[in-house]
Amino acid sequence: MIRRHYQPAGLFTRSSSLLASSLGMIAIVLLYLPIAGLALLSFSAQPLRGIPWPFTFEWYGALVAGETASKWISPLLTSISIGILVSIASTATALLIGRAVPTLRRSTGLLVAYLCVIVLPGILVGVAVLLFYRVLLGLTTGFWSVFLVHFIWALPFSLLCILIVTLRFDRRLLDAAEDLGASKFRQFIDIELPLLMPGVMASLFFSFLLSFNELPRTLYARGSVVTLPYYVWTASSSHSSQVSLIYALSSIIMVLSFLVTLVAMRILNKRE
């Protein structure tokens, strides 16, 4: 007689939950420990030594000084301007594509063509845009070339945000509205857009952040344009007095990013 021993389901569940929780905590520590360390060093009098002592607010005060502020405020405004344009353009384009995809019989090839940009190296895309649009089409590198590479990068993510809501959208609502005499415009404004709004808001938010934080593609398409990530990268890699200020500037950007993300998630949850 063969006896079979079964592991209790409750014990297996508790062990799996404990393992998953432990791995999750390790991932959180590995993710946020460098960020917390950077924020702590921004209050250090000598942050380059890696020892957060003695504490000072000197670097935060230096950021708002006249000469220093002019060096990072202009790149900040440039990044915000490009980010807003990219978020609007990518969301509008993704909305047009995302609304059409559910109605197509064979949409797999189309989706692959749009989404494969995600896995392409950023440097490759930047070089390709530089060579093709500048050499072949004569496009001058600058503000609009940076906008173009950011748009190429953000569009697939915007499309994913829109597809999440369009694939769940019940198109019978539009048929009912059409039977009641509503025009195509009224159907979109009154019925479709409100139901797709969580995806639209997510697309606007994430495409802006993708553009605001983009560096590899910007390196090859920027011309004389200086974005905030490029300014932080050049300042942190140089041996100058600006290096210590980067700790404070990066900490401010992180705090604002967390606050914006928190507000955006609360808005999305309420709409959902």
AA letter at 129 = V
242 to each of 12, 43, 173, 224, 250, how far by Cα in Å?
54, 15, 58, 20, 12
Amino acid sitting at position 80: I
Strand, helix or coil for residue 60? helix
Amino acid identity of 194? P
- The pLDDT tens digits along the chain (272 residues) read 455 555 555 555 777 778 888 888 888 888 878 778 777 777 776 766 666 777 777 777 777 776 667 778 888 899 999 999 999 999 999 999 888 887 777 767 777 777 777 777 777 777 777 777 777 777 778 888 889 889 988 998 999 889 888 888 877 888 888 788 888 888 888 888 888 888 898 899 889 988 998 888 888 888 888 898 888 888 777 655 566 677 778 788 888 878 877 877 776 666 55
CA atoms within 13 Å, Cβ hemisphere of 104: 12
Instruction: For residue range 48-106, list pLDDT tens digits in order.
Output: 666 677 777 777 777 777 666 777 888 889 999 999 999 999 999 999 988 888 777 77
Q: Where are the domains of the chain?
A: 72-237
Tokens of 235: 């300042």
How far is residue 206's CA from residue 154's CA, in Å, rounded to a whole number?
8
Taking the C-alpha atoms of residue 213 and residue 75, their distance in angstroms, rounded to an integer, is 12
For domain 72-237, say whether CATH 1.10.3720.10 is its number. Answer: yes
Cα(272)–Cα(267) distance, integer angstroms: 9
Does the global pTM surpass 0.85? Answer: no
Q: How far apart are CA 46 and CA 56, in angstroms?
A: 9
C-beta separation of 63 from 245 below 8 A: yes
